[in-house]
Amino acid sequence: MRFLVSFWMIILCCGHALAQASDSDVAVGMQRGEGAQQAQEPLTVFPHNDDARYLISGQANIIFQSHPGFHSPYEGTNSLLARGEYKTSLIGTLYLVFKLNSNPRYETDALYDLESAGGRGVSEALGLAGFTNIDVVRNPNLGPTPYTARVLLHQTIGLTSKLVDAERVPYASLATKVPERRFELRAGKMGLPDILDDNGAGSDSHLQFMNWTVDNNGAWDYAADSFEVLRAL
């Protein structure tokens, strides 16, 4: 527990210090007519330029939710609790990426993300068809102890020498230029919404919506549990 607290305190302190530094840089930049460009630069644990072969960034997200007491004559074991309650969840992620091959046409990225899922959801994330906090994990064995969230190898195979602009993404690739026609191969442990079904408004609970069925396809959630229910029927 001490390790966990220290781990996330380091991320939060670095993020706070960097935010203060960034605010100062933005103020200076605006005096020089560079405010718009500076304001768009993302905050990371350590500052990087677009040519850096590595990226070290962190993110901490705290969600507090509660509900008042209500009348529930048919409350069961897995129902939303009728008594008033409040719960807080904490998700922290450390993103580590390194370019093994920086040739834009055949770039190779190695990614490793360390994550911690602490706290609880109201009623232990039960009782709602579309639960209101996607950061909550139902697995009782997955506590606040840091675990490997992603580890993968990303390989680009260019089919042309013509390059187009690309966005550096901590959980996908560090490339800022990619071949216009290419194959991209990924192998390892990853989340499907990182690559597929990517929607700017509803693919990341830390950007806008927090409901499980809005953020991702509700049919993906706990398919094993659904199978058990169907088998019982």
Per residue of the chain (233 residues), give pLDDT as tens: 444 444 444 444 444 444 444 444 433 343 444 444 444 555 666 677 888 899 888 888 899 999 999 999 988 888 999 999 999 998 899 999 999 999 999 999 999 999 988 888 899 888 887 888 888 876 656 678 888 989 999 999 999 999 999 988 888 888 999 999 999 999 999 877 677 766 666 666 677 778 877 766 666 554 444 333 333 33
The three-class DSSP label of residue 122 is helix
Angle (CA) 39-57-157 rounded to 5° is 95
Give which of 217, 153, 215 is closest to 189, Cα–Cα.
153
Q: Which domain holds residue 11?
A: 1-43
178 and 94 in a common domain? yes
Residue 115 near residue 151, CB atoms below 8 Å: no
Number of domains within the chain: 2
51 and 143 in a common domain? yes
- Amino acid symbol at 29: G
In a domain, 75, yes or no: yes
227: left (phi over 0), alpha (psi -120 to 50) or beta: alpha
Residue 131 near residue 125, CB atoms below 8 Å: yes
126 and 35 in a common domain? no
Tokens read off for 79: 């129902």
In a domain, 82, yes or no: yes
20 and 94 in a common domain? no
198 and 95 in a common domain? yes
